[in-house]
Structure 1
Amino acid sequence: MSEQQKIDMQTVWQQDKDHYIHPWTDFSTFKETGSMVLADSDNVHVKDGDGREYLDGIGGLWCVNIGYAREEMAEAIADQIRQIPYYSSFGHHTTVPAAKLAAKLAELAPGNLNHVFYGCGGSVANDTAVRIIHFYFNQLGQKTKKKIISRIDGYHGSTYMAMSITGVKFDHIGFDIDEQLVHHISCPNPYRRPEGQSLEDFCDEKVQELEDKILELGADNVAAFFAEPIMGAGGVIVQPDGYHKKILAVCRKYGVLYVSDEVVTAFGRLGHMFASEDEFGIVPDIITCAKGLTSGYLPLGATILSSDIYDVISKPQADGAIFTHGYTYSGHPVSCAAGVKNIEIMERENLCGHVQEMGAYFEQQLKTLSDLQIVGDVRGRKFMMCIENVANKDTKELISPEAKVGNRIADHCQARGLIVRPLAHMNVLSPPLTLTREHVDFMVATLRESIEVTTAELKAEGYL
């Protein structure tokens, strides 16, 4: 890198620090350290402003499923910009990519989820789901069915409504949420179940908790239950076998709509285009998705509705009334063109099949880290994994939050050319779906070394 390029990167770093408010910023350190500037990428690697290369173990943020810098994606996006870069989808206008992608999503989604509403990301997709659900029950004359139930440690976004549905309590600190509309039940985390309790009994206990909450609030007041097939930002929680089927049965019993938040799990991360039916055997009423829909190349989210819901909401509610919900960028043609091309690439290259094979190897190799002193649990499926670090494996006692163990491990990994995501005492891995065995081996070896170095530091500082 030339001296001028270094000066330019320093300018960018300073501009970012002075003017860019980042999501999830730790202001206790940001004003000194600023951000790492990322300037280039290729397949599973990114480069910083100094030209150092890193294997991206988090896929941007659960997003870059087909890998970075795909030329045919760039061409598809450029071609659409040359044709028609934008047109409003309000009323009776559409564009070719918006219509094509909606039809493709209807083809891929389970059951009769045949109708697609577009937004700009996962938070908006979940907000849209709530607004449509309320409208749906209003149309049916069930105007008291408004309340939403979700789970502690579930993550559904950071707009006001989506963050209210989110059950990660750390994310609520200092902010307001709607505690009258949204109610939470406990996290179905098998690793944290009471000692001696079977998985089956633990599962039944959590299912019963949902039913009890519906009865407590009144079935006539509960509109929907939101759940991720695997809980992502709350710690990659894989519920016990049969959990989702039993939860869906409770929802059906009381006329509560089931919303499957597949913002992370859809488009190959678990080896399926959608995980709800193929991985967990359920057909929900609504699926929300984003992230892997375009592999992060452009912002796009979708709320996919069943025909049963669509048939109700698509009837005029009164003379002259219209369906007054939507966004300026709903069905943005360039984003939709990226979505069409993304799915085309995934299908042509059989990325879901690759994930089935390589994801099994990834799981197997990561579990070899279980012999390390502080690794309490290695969990997840395929390309959605988490390492939970503890002070004591027998008691599952956590290391003091002051130690920032997740951040330490992530920092040591980054110094060795691997980016992983710290979540408190955990580290999350959600790499591009194009990983090879060599990439997996590098990730696991780097994690082992980084965890070992971190363990030595924690001992020296009296945390262990």
Structure 2
Amino acid sequence: MNAPTQMIARLRSAVPLQLDYGGPTIMNKPSSLTYFERDMASVVHPQTNLLKHLQTGPTIVTHGEGVYVYDDAGDRFLDSGAALWCNSLGYGSERVARVAYEAMQKLTYFQLFRGYSHGPAIDLSERLLQIAPVPMSKVLLQCSGSEANDSAVKIVWYYWHGLGKPERRKIISRQGSYHGSTCVAISLTGNSSYHKSFGLPFDGFIHVDSLNYYRSAKPGETEEQFSQRLADALEATILREGPETVAAFWADPVQGNAGALPPPKGYFEKVQAVLKKYDILFVADEVICGFGRTGSMWGSQTYGLQPDIITCAKQLSAAMLPISAILMNEKVFDVVKNESNKQGAFVHGFTYAGHPVAASVALEVLKIYDEMDIAARVKSLEPVFLQQLDGLTDHPLVGAVSGVGLIGGVEIVKDKETRASFDAGVDIGGRIVENARKNGLILRVASNRIAYSPPLIISEDEIVDIGTRTRAALDDTLAEVRAL
């Protein structure tokens, strides 16, 4: 057994540190209520129909091991999505828990405000600059992907103010993108369902066409031609808005919210040429793709991106503690530095940004990635993963598949010939998710696509198992919709 394989075996078998809380309590007093009942009485759940939740209740996850999680009924589920794209090293790591424990003993907390610093923040920032896909100058640590993208927007605006061009304020992103849940980050997001009833998006956030070649290509149009049309549409949007008013273009290398959708061939090459022509900053949102997911350490490497700013989170700490980072190149930092001097300070920050315990955990996770040669491992699993996706194309509900590394998706259709989608009332996504649960599989469905992003420690056999369980879920769903 080689060293990376031994490392994976240890991670998969590791049991996290256990703390005995003495069972359910309320205000330190024993409670006769179950966690299910207490959740119903007290918890608001994100991305959840809150009325229906009060009728159906939560699934209580009690523990995890490797690529599996267990509920309070003892049922085991294979997690095909690494929770929220982030749990790259699976569930349970005593090694990382020990690092967090030792870090907390040494320095429970200190801020990075007003020139203070500490070793973990410095070490992590240096390491991120060392592994960056393109030369970067400085790192701003934050707490989440949403915070990273929100902060990056402020940096972009600060940059153009520093150059005496405050009118360059508009941000362009793509339909199908997701960039976070703050008011600014959700304005970046190209999905109207995230905006309804919140009075969002803010003005000045512009969303260009979807990248879905299967859904949006014209008859006979090649992927390269489709990409050129998208690049031409981007240029037309810039000209319509006025290049002198456009600050930046935002892009996630693979669109998670669009259903783990990779870009069509030639897309980023053509788009970057447009951005360069009009001197528009390019921000790569690597929150999902960073740290091995696409078969390279960064999605930017997989697709030849040359960003001015990179945002990252999720797999930076393998989701074990909240942390994120913004990397900016020297061109951007030089202006930000000078503008901060002009204003007296760079007046931005979050209390917990660069938390010493979270930074220590992220450093250890990056060490584990090095020991596993994580990008090479993902690349070696890519053929098996893509084979499982391809194997579903004969199913009546499947229109097309696409993927890269260990991220990809399956297009769900009502009719394979016309590529028509199911009516919203059928809730095809909800049916597939529920039938997957019945088959012991946690699936995510987004934008009529099943989206996969399993933990990076997954084995070939477990990837095959995902394919088998997905087919069973699709069969059960097909039987349901035919009976409607």
Normalised by the length of structure 1, the TM-score is 0.95
Equivalent-residue separation in structure 1 for 2:341 and 2:326 (angstroms):
25
Match of 1:128 among 130, 151, 156: 151
SS of the residue corresponding to residue 193 of structure 2 reads: helix
Q: Partner letter of residue 223 of structure 1?
A: A
Identical columns (%): 33
Equivalent-residue separation in structure 1 for 2:157 and 2:34 (angstroms):
48
Q: Deviation above 3 Å: which 4+ runs of structure 1?
A: 4-10, 316-320
Match of 1:308 among 311, 331, 344: 331
1:65 equivalent to 2:88? Answer yes
- Root mean square deviation of aligned Cα: 1.7
Aligned partner of 2:54 in structure 1 is 31
Match of 1:346 among 353, 369, 376: 369
**Greater shift in the superposed pair: 387-396 or 257-266:** 387-396
Aligned partner of 2:434 in structure 1 is 411
Cα deviation code 1:140-189 (max 9, x no counterpart): 11121111011111111111000001001222222222442111111121
Deviation of the 1:28 alpha carbon? 4.3
Cα deviation code 1:201-227 (max 9, x no counterpart): 211110011111111111111000001
Equivalent-residue separation in structure 2 for 1:9 and 1:392 (angstroms):
51
Aligned partner of 1:207 in structure 2 is 231
Match of 1:220 among 217, 241, 244: 244
Aligned partner of 1:98 in structure 2 is 121
Give 5+ residue unaligned stretches, structure 1. Answer: none
Task: Assess if the C-alpha contact under 8 Å between 2:269 and 2:304 holds in 1.
Answer: yes
Aligned residue pair count:
457
Equivalent-residue separation in structure 2 for 1:37 and 1:351 (angstroms):
31
Aligned pair in 2 of structure 1 residues 52, 334: CA closer, same or farther (>3 Å)?
Answer: same
Cα deviation code 1:98-150 (max 9, x no counterpart): 10010010011122213111111111111111101111111111121111011
Task: Assess if the C-alpha contact under 8 Å between 2:110 and 2:356 holds in 1.
Answer: yes
Aligned partner of 2:282 in structure 1 is 258
SS of the residue corresponding to residue 327 of structure 1 reads: coil
Cα deviation code 1:357-383 (max 9, x no counterpart): 112211111210110111112122121
Equivalent-residue separation in structure 2 for 1:269 and 1:305 (angstroms):
21
Aligned pair in 2 of structure 1 residues 8, 236: CA closer, same or farther (>3 Å)?
Answer: farther
Cα deviation code 1:422-450 (max 9, x no counterpart): 22533211110011111012111111111
Q: Partner letter of residue 72 of structure 2?
A: G
Aligned partner of 1:284 in structure 2 is 307
Deviation of the 1:319 alpha carbon? 5.7
1:438 equivalent to 2:464? Answer no
Deviation of the 1:394 alpha carbon? 1.1
Give 5+ residue unaligned stretches, structure 2. Answer: 1-21, 25-29
Q: Partner letter of residue 219 of structure 2?
A: E
Aligned partner of 1:451 in structure 2 is 474
SS of the residue corresponding to residue 386 of structure 1 reads: strand
SS of the residue corresponding to residue 314 of structure 1 reads: helix
Aligned partner of 1:80 in structure 2 is 103
Aligned pair in 2 of structure 1 residues 9, 391: CA closer, same or farther (>3 Å)?
Answer: farther
Task: Assess if the C-alpha contact under 8 Å between 1:269 and 1:355 holds in 2.
Answer: yes
Q: Partner letter of residue 267 of structure 2?
A: Y
Equivalent-residue separation in structure 2 for 1:286 and 1:9 (angstroms):
51
Task: Assess if the C-alpha contact under 8 Å between 2:44 and 2:50 holds in 1.
Answer: no
Q: Partner letter of residue 191 of structure 1?
A: Y
Task: Assess if the C-alpha contact under 8 Å between 2:433 and 2:445 holds in 1.
Answer: yes
Aligned pair in 2 of structure 1 residues 411, 311: CA closer, same or farther (>3 Å)?
Answer: same
Equivalent-residue separation in structure 2 for 1:319 and 1:177 (angstroms):
33
Normalised by the length of structure 2, the TM-score is 0.91
Cα deviation code 1:226-282 (max 9, x no counterpart): 011011112222222221121111111111100000100001111222120x20112
Equivalent-residue separation in structure 1 for 2:438 and 2:104 (angstroms):
39
Deviation of the 1:35 alpha carbon? 1.1
